[in-house]
């Protein structure tokens, strides 16, 4: 595999950008080697600057449920750009997108569009604190909610990948109101809420965790979150930045039938552009300026190009209902991994729901952060590279979800299955 051009760019990039990248996991540190630089994406494929082609299971870390450069999305965006790229004044498109989001997520009675998942969670927490007049926030180990200071405590994603769950530069005072509990641990949660529930402004959770690798919630866990927050009048925030429009049009809350007070969306909702949203019960969202005292704003919020891409993406998802087909394809990949692993006597746990999954190299079920950390990350790194050599791009970290898109066709899937069999055999050696 040729890589001179990527290598040369990486050298230049490292002189200017920390690790040569604009977001840490892209640097391949967790799996070793150098990242490839992308020239183009189309459908389920990426091409790098050396002409190598990959079946892409990273899908920009979640947004691309329709694959790269979906023709209808591209056409809509081109038209939008011609009309100007930002106005800083309201548009009809924003109303249409807000209505569409609200239809899929009835719990979001009012909402705001922002530019990133980080902004969505940060704003939701501020609103919850403003609304309740309380300070404390409960989060769960291995859940990632963007990089706001007080949420970077035992966060997943890149923070887990690099073993720095607590970031430098976060003052103790900022994090001291964040209570971190183990995911899926109903007992620990109930005990904490019984002790300090009256001080808790918000409980924030990934209702299906995607940032310590995929970890499914015990239904009892989500139920306990709802009951306790109701009892103590804390705001329950579902961070559905990954799961919104991914596991179902209405996200994890529609699958599990649990209605949070607030929801954060990102990734898919922006159709491949920087766009995210937060919202919730009307009574709570009325605390946001200019209606209420909680300030939150953004020069590019509701950007017409991003909104167009998001709107078109949601329209397609609604029209085509690709979810059963996505699930079928993803199960097929998961089964191939599991069969190949068995044959090679490599212990794996595959956590999968809808079109997201993670292959953990461990013989015990992965149900929380500490069991996720038991996975053999060196083995994952070898698996990753064996796949990459065969033109299949899995997440360059054990602790990130792999995603399947509607653009993954039979040809790409059978190439992937072959690569998986090859990679598992290589691991057994």
CB of 118 to ligand PLP, least distance (A): 3
* Catalytic (active site) residue 267: yes
CB of 352 to ligand PLP, least distance (A): 17
Using the minimum distance from each CB to ligand PLP, give the nearer residue, 243 or 417: 243
**Candidate list 45, 54, 144, 393, residue with the active-site label:** 144
CB of 239 to ligand PLP, least distance (A): 5
CB 211 within 8 A of CB 160: yes
Q: Which residues are paired to 359 by β-bridges?
A: 350
CB of 412 to ligand PLP, least distance (A): 24
CB of 305 to ligand PLP, least distance (A): 17
Q: H/E/C letters for each residue in the chain?
A: CCCHHHHHHHHHHHHHCHHHCCCHHHHCCCCCCCCCCEEEEEECEEEECCCCEEEECCHHHCCCCCCECCHHHHHHHHHHHHCCCCCCCCCHHHHHHHHHHHHHCCCCCEEEEECCHHHHHHHHHHHHHHHHCCCEEEEECCCCCCCCHHHCCCCCHHHHHCCCCCCCCCCHHHHCCEEEECCCCHHHHHHHHHHHHHHEEEEEECCCECCCCCECCCHHHHHHHHHHHHHHCCEEEEECCCCECCCECCHHHHHHCCCCCEEEECHHHHCCCCCEEEEECHHHHCCECCCCCECCCCCCCCCHHHHHHHHHHHHHHHHHCCHHHHHHHHHHHHHHHHHHHHHCCCCCEEEEECCEEEEECCCCCCCCHHHHHCCCHHHHHHHHHHHHHCCEECCCCCCCCEECCCCCCHHHHHHHHHHHHHHHHHHHC
Chain positions contacting ligand PLP, by CB under 6 A: 116-118, 121, 144-146, 206, 210-211, 239, 241-242, 266, 276
Is the Cα dihedral 353, 107, 285, 80 positive or negative?
Answer: positive
**Candidate list 48, 56, 185, 239, residue with the active-site label:** 239
Using the minimum distance from each CB to ligand PLP, give the nearer residue, 64 or 413: 64
| Residue reference for tokens 């956590």 | 351
Using the minimum distance from each CB to ligand PLP, give the nearer residue, 185 or 239: 239
CB of 47 to ligand PLP, least distance (A): 24
**Candidate list 267, 312, 329, 373, residue with the active-site label:** 267
CB of 339 to ligand PLP, least distance (A): 29
- Altogether, the residues listed in the chain come to a count of 429
Alpha carbon separation from 32 to 12, 35, 396, 427 (Å, rounded)? 19, 9, 9, 16
Q: Which residues are paired to 403 by β-bridges?
A: 356
Pairing between β-strand 200-205 and β-strand 356-360 as defined by DSSP bridges: unpaired
Q: Which tokens in the block code for residue 32?
A: 């070793």
* Residues with catalytic roles: 144, 239, 267
């Amino acid at each position: 595999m040729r890589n001179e051009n990527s290598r040369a760019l990486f050298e230049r990039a490292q002189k200017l950008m920390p690790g040569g990248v604009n977001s840490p996991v892209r640097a391949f540190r967790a799996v070793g080697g150098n990242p490839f630089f992308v020239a183009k994406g189309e459908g389920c494929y990426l091409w790098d600057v050396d002409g190598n082609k990959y079946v892409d299971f990273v899908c920009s870390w979640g947004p691309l449920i329709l694959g790269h450069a979906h023709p209808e999305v591209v056409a809509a965006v081109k038209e939008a750009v011609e009309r100007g790229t930002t106005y800083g004044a309201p548009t009809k498109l924003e109303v249409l997108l807000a209505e569409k989001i609200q239809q899929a997520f009835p719990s979001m009675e009012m909402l705001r569009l922002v530019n990133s998942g980080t902004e969505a969670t940060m704003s939701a927490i501020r609103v919850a604190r403003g609304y309740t007049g309380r300070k404390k926030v409960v989060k769960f180990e291995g859940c990632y909610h963007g990089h706001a200071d007080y949420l970077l405590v035992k966060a997943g994603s890149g923070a887990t990948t690099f073993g720095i769950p607590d970031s430098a530069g976060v003052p103790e005072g900022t994090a001291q109101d964040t209570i971190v509990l183990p995911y899926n641990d109903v007992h620990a949660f109930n005990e904490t809420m019984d002790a300090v529930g009256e001080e808790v402004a918000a409980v924030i959770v990934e209702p299906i965790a995607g940032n310590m690798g995929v970890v499914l919630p015990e239904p009892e866990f989500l139920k306990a979150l709802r009951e306790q927050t109701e009892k103590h009048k804390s705001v329950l925030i579902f961070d559905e930045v990954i799961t919104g429009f991914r596991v179902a049009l209405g996200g994890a809350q529609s699958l599990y039938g649990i209605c949070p007070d607030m929801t954060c969306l990102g990734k898919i909702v922006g159709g491949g552009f920087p766009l995210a949203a937060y919202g919730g019960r009307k009574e709570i969202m009325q605390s946001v300026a200019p209606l209420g005292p909680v300030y939150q704003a953004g020069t590019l919020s509701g950007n017409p190009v991003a909104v167009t891409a998001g709107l078109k993406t949601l329209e397609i998802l609604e029209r085509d209902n690709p979810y059963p087909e996505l699930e079928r394809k993803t199960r097929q990949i998961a089964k191939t991994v599991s069969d190949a692993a068995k044959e090679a006597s490599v212990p794996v746990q595959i956590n999968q729901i809808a079109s997201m999954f993670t292959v953990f190299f461990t013989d015990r079920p992965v149900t929380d952060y500490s069991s996720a950390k038991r996975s053999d990350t060196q083995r994952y790194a070898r698996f990753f590279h064996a796949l990459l050599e065969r033109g299949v791009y899995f997440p360059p970290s054990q602790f990130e979800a792999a995603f399947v898109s509607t653009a993954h066709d039979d040809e790409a899937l059978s190439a992937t299955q072959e690569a998986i069999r090859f990679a598992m055999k290589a691991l057994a050696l």
